[in-house]
Amino acid sequence: MALRGAIVVDTEKCKGCSVCVVNCPTNTIALSKEVNSKGYNYAYMASPENCTGCTNCATVCPDTCITVYRVKV
């Protein structure tokens, strides 16, 4: 059994602080080259196939802009 996960980032709320990026144990997240309306490079799943839905990113996100989904496959 393996875990597959995915995150959804509220890109307008994200301030691009990178705290989720360094806390992701599977290197799933990176900052986008695109910016939101405030000019922040928001977080996104750069390697979605790596995500296990561990919720570490959402737990440390200071702006609580990450929602996490997980399935057992």
Distances (CA, A) of 45 to 1, 15, 22, 60, 73: 22, 16, 13, 16, 20
Nearer to other proteins, 27 or 69 (CB): 69
List of residues contacting other proteins (CB under 8 A): 4-6, 8, 12-13, 15-19, 21-23, 40, 45, 48-49, 53-56, 58-71
Number of H helices, E strands in the chain: 2, 4
CB 1 → other proteins: shortest distance, Å?
15
Rounded to the nearest whole angstrom, what is the least distance from the CB of residue 68 to other proteins in the complex? 4
